[in-house]
Structure 1
Amino acid sequence: MATTTPSQRRLAEALKSFKARQDEGRYVLRSDDLGRTERESLVKAGYLRPIIKGWYMSSRPDESAGDTTAWFACAAEFIGRYAESRFGDQWCVSADHSVRLHAGNTTLPPQLVLNAPAGQNSVIQLLAGHSLLDYRAKDFPQVDKRNTVGGLRAMTLEQALIRVPVSFYRTYARDAQIVLTSMRDADELVRQLLDGGHSVVAGRLAGAMRACGRNDIADDIAGVMRRAGYAFTEVNPFFDPLPALCATRGESPYVTRVRLMWAEMREDVIDSFPAEPGLPVDKEAYLTAVQDTYLRDAYNSLSIEGYHVTNALIERVASGIWDPEKNDADLQSKDALAARGYFLARQKVEASIRRILGGENAGLVVAQDHRVWYRELFGPSVDAKLLKTSDLAGYRSHQVFIRNAAHVPPPKEAVRDMMPALFELLETEPHAAARAVLGHFIFVFTHPYMDGNGRIGRFLMNAMLASGGYPWTVIEVTRRSDYMEALDAASSGGDIGPFAKFVASSLSGEMMSAAQ
């Protein structure tokens, strides 16, 4: 019988206490939430990492020193618990960040400002280059003008819009357009403008609403303020013209964000790409060329996701030698299961491409087939009892985080609204390059599944490339860092340029190889 050391027994006991806290939904702990010995054992083993003195967050033992995943997963919980420990319920994030939260923006700013009457105007350095400023707020909003958004105390949208400076509309134009476009009506906003006598702010908000195409609300604000006897001048606070949106009034801000990103980014993508070849005349030759990329594609796509696969393993899977019923190693191997799933899913993707080459709308095909790709991708893991069959049913039901990315995917409730909007955009977009790049980007931005989003995103990209006659394009694992950085620049920074150029350069390599 194996014996355990005292340190192993201490760690085991500490893990029991730690699990009890996590079962309560607490992934951020103060020093006094655990005993000193328990805390030290968990830190040494890598299950806890310090944030600031006296505060710790859950982590994984296999994370490297520079890994930021745990921080972005725990940041909102830490900020909320830390602020409550100091200020009780007398705090909220700044007006700027409140609007961004209401807009569904999940990116943590470099410096988050907390408004609190007891603030000390001090800065606390956090992780990954972030900091916290506790601002002493003299004009603090009352309880009815605060609510909880994204796990943080925020000002209500109306209160935040009244308080943001004019510079907000230039620095965060996208977030401003999202919340203004998504508002159902202006009743509460106008009421607060009147109560506070905010005639200048009212003129700015009316101008902003009109710039967003919300003439109904702009006219309402102007009419009520003038009727109340206020001097009123309408001013557009946006610096640049805004992209036109075909948004539904009162639509989810997450859906509006998808539409707005697409409208803002599509021209940059199209400008980065070579001319569209058009659907191939010889469709069978095109499909044969797609099939010829399988080994290289599977190796690189699986390697990007961290699987340790070899060409020999991929060939065994493709040739049918892989036999989990007779070979326990095949049954238990995570890498082999991933390779088998990729092979099965790739066959379904090729069937989807055949439909697209036959003239069917690419967006409609992918809307119908992407769930099939997902089920095939993880079917072998279900067969091996590593996943439940119910895990293949529908989109994710939990929050997910992307390893070392500043972007935090939207909450699970938003996914079911965002995905139909994505497929609608794919269906109506006339340019294959925009369908490919933005389809891939917004799919992984949304992260609709618990796992496999990168692989399915690349399948989607290649199906859209096929709809324009572009070749199947392999993202090489040797360029993984560039690929992930370009995606994060688009997700957290709103700049699609690096990712569009990255895909175009990968595409150019495939086109040159085909020409040779």
Structure 2
Amino acid sequence: MATPADKLAESLAVLKTLRDQGRKALRSEDMGRTHRERLMRNGFIKEVMKGWYIPSRPDEPAGESTSWYASFWVFCASYLESRFGDEWCVSPEQSIHLHTGNWSVPKQLLIRSPKGGNKPTGLLHGTSILDVRLELPPASDTEIKEGMRIYNLPAALVGCSQTQFSAHPTEMRTALTMMQDASELLGRLLAGGHSKIAGWLAGACRSIGRKQIADDILGAMRAAGYTVNENNPFKDQAQIIFSPRETSPYVNRMRMNWASMREDVLHSFPAAPGLPADSAKYLKQVEAVYVNDAYNSLSIEGYKVSAALIEKVRSGNWNPDSNKDDQDHRNALAARGYWQAFQKVRESIGKVLSQENAGTVAESDHAQWYRELFGPSVTAGILKAADLAGYRNSPVYIRRSMHTPPGKEAVRELMPVLFELLQQENEAAVRVVLGHFMFVYIHPYIDGNGRIGRFLMNLMSASGGYSWIVIPLEQRNDYMAALESASVEGDIKPFSTLLANLVSTG
């Protein structure tokens, strides 16, 4: 007679087959009632709506959002295909967000379909899909991106309302920088007789330095007999000069965010005291804060550590080959790695105190911090040496965050530009706040991004003569909420204020 464990194993085998097929949105008929109820009862699947499920982890706490946010886009694509076939498309405005690399989970995904019901379908954690009954654009105006049927970029730009430019200037400017010439816009503008749209697209292009595209739009429309009045739809001025050779949406968005966020940082952060006159004294203060910093930084990441454990691994009194599966041992490995990385960060700070450019030091040294952070896990056989070879080669998701970090190709575009921005930034406060935020926004590694981001923050802190900043475990929720606000809503003020309240200039 089959035991409960045997029965669960059978159900897990069914789930594994579905997952091996790449299925993240599961329907009732995929599993059968018995398997479905058993998997739900044991926490291996989670109901999104009646008849629809996603895989989840049995150790995921009640109310946890991570599995949903990680599955959101794949689930929506599967659900919409099941409901509408190929007769649906994301709105032009949200298509722009996806084209420009903004895959943060929206509160409401707006869909067009001739079969739409004009009402929202509630999903998990306050998200929903609103399917509006509207005709679809021609097939030539759409494409499929990561499973989502969206407007292609020129059609989305022509299809957006004028208010979208003022409501989401970063995304709209980024989208315009992706256009190589006016030809694809003009075909749609002329075919539809869109003289007003032509006027604001020309004004928008000129405002970001794409003069040739603006002139070509106006010239072609007027030659075809249309009266076109150029009108810049943006309510503010672009704060950066766009290179005609830079078309990466990720890079242009980061440059714009840096320029717009830095002003908020400067308003909320204390002025930098400057490099300390006594470098040795500053380094002693860094060493003195180690135990407090390690305890809080590791605890924020979920490790169970104590001051006694931190002191134990600092002294080298540990055995990396014993009890590989023991959670206490994993905590010790994390603590040992933190100690080793901390020593390398301290060396990096020494370079900055000797007046080396902080951004240059971070660029050359951060990979070594990462290797030291996880070196003990390699020694213990938990990780392979190849795992520490460089930036990630797979997607990564942040626990409980609606922010979806950029893909692996974008990581390799963004990291050199992040260090360039740090190298060129004159204000230490901006380097402190945006250095940390942008690093964890990119999330270049599979693991350890929070710890490396805080190391980077404190290297930049030293470059301005600020004290080492410790994020207290008691403020973890505020800290994560502030990062979420910056990542999803573009509001850096809560994060800047939080760090400003923790830093010392004395």
TM-score (structure 1 length as normaliser): 0.95
Contact 1:94 1:113 in 2 (8 A): yes
Helix, strand or coil at the partner of 1:506:
coil
In structure 1, the partner of 2:415 is: 419
In structure 2, the partner of 1:144 is: 140
In structure 1, the partner of 2:295 is: 299
Deviation at 1:169, TM superposition (A): 1.0
- 1:293-442 matches, within 5 Å, as 293-325=289-321, 333-442=329-438
Contact 2:70 2:397 in 1 (8 A): yes
CA distance in structure 2 between the partners assigned to 1:245 and 1:343 by the alignment: 42
- 1:35-434 matches, within 5 Å, as 35-138=32-135, 140-325=136-321, 333-434=329-430
Deviation at 1:246, TM superposition (A): 4.2
Query: Structure 1's 204 and 8: CA in aligned 2 closer, same or farther, altered over 3 A?
Result: same
**Range 107-116 or range 88-97, more displaced:** 107-116
CA distance in structure 2 between the partners assigned to 1:116 and 1:325 by the alignment: 59
Query: Structure 1's 314 and 216: CA in aligned 2 closer, same or farther, altered over 3 A?
Result: same
Helix, strand or coil at the partner of 1:507:
coil
Give unmatched runs, 5+ long, in structure 1: none
In structure 1, the partner of 2:473 is: 477
Contact 1:397 1:412 in 2 (8 A): yes
CA distance in structure 2 between the partners assigned to 1:341 and 1:306 by the alignment: 15
Q: How far does the alpha carbon of each residue in 1:319-347 deviate from its partner, in whole angstroms, 9 at most, with x for none? A: 12123357879897110110011011111
Helix, strand or coil at the partner of 2:14:
helix
Contact 1:432 1:465 in 2 (8 A): yes
In structure 1, the partner of 2:487 is: 491
**Range 447-456 or range 147-156, more displaced:** 147-156
In structure 1, the partner of 2:18 is: 21
Query: Structure 1's 337 and 17: CA in aligned 2 closer, same or farther, altered over 3 A?
Result: same
Query: Structure 1's 232 and 134: CA in aligned 2 closer, same or farther, altered over 3 A?
Result: same
AA in 2 matched with 1:244: I
Contact 2:178 2:247 in 1 (8 A): yes
CA distance in structure 1 between the partners assigned to 2:176 and 2:77 by the alignment: 27
CA distance in structure 2 between the partners assigned to 1:267 and 1:403 by the alignment: 29
Contact 1:182 1:256 in 2 (8 A): no
CA distance in structure 2 between the partners assigned to 1:414 and 1:387 by the alignment: 25
CA distance in structure 2 between the partners assigned to 1:379 and 1:163 by the alignment: 51
Q: How far does the alpha carbon of each residue in 1:68-89 deviate from its partner, in whole angstroms, 9 at most, with x for none? A: 1111111101110111111111
- 1:495-514 matches, within 5 Å, as 495-508=491-504, 511=505
1:6 maps to which of 3, 19, 32? 3
Q: How far does the alpha carbon of each residue in 1:140-166 deviate from its partner, in whole angstroms, 9 at most, with x for none? A: 112211112243110011111111111
Helix, strand or coil at the partner of 2:501:
helix
Contact 1:182 1:253 in 2 (8 A): yes
Query: Structure 1's 468 and 109: CA in aligned 2 closer, same or farther, altered over 3 A?
Result: same
CA distance in structure 1 between the partners assigned to 2:227 and 2:300 by the alignment: 60
AA in 1 matched with 2:387: D
Helix, strand or coil at the partner of 1:333:
helix
AA in 1 matched with 2:111: L
Give unmatched runs, 5+ long, in structure 2: none
Query: Structure 1's 276 and 96: CA in aligned 2 closer, same or farther, altered over 3 A?
Result: same
Deviation at 1:449, TM superposition (A): 0.3
Contact 1:182 1:249 in 2 (8 A): no
The percent identity for this pair of structures is: 52
CA distance in structure 2 between the partners assigned to 1:421 and 1:17 by the alignment: 45
CA distance in structure 2 between the partners assigned to 1:269 and 1:280 by the alignment: 22
Deviation at 1:181, TM superposition (A): 2.0
**Range 287-296 or range 59-68, more displaced:** 59-68
CA distance in structure 2 between the partners assigned to 1:500 and 1:182 by the alignment: 31
CA distance in structure 2 between the partners assigned to 1:327 and 1:109 by the alignment: 43
CA distance in structure 1 between the partners assigned to 2:438 and 2:89 by the alignment: 30
AA in 2 matched with 1:6: T
CA distance in structure 2 between the partners assigned to 1:54 and 1:360 by the alignment: 60
Helix, strand or coil at the partner of 2:503:
helix
CA distance in structure 2 between the partners assigned to 1:333 and 1:326 by the alignment: 8
Contact 1:382 1:388 in 2 (8 A): yes
AA in 1 matched with 2:405: P
Deviation at 1:116, TM superposition (A): 1.0
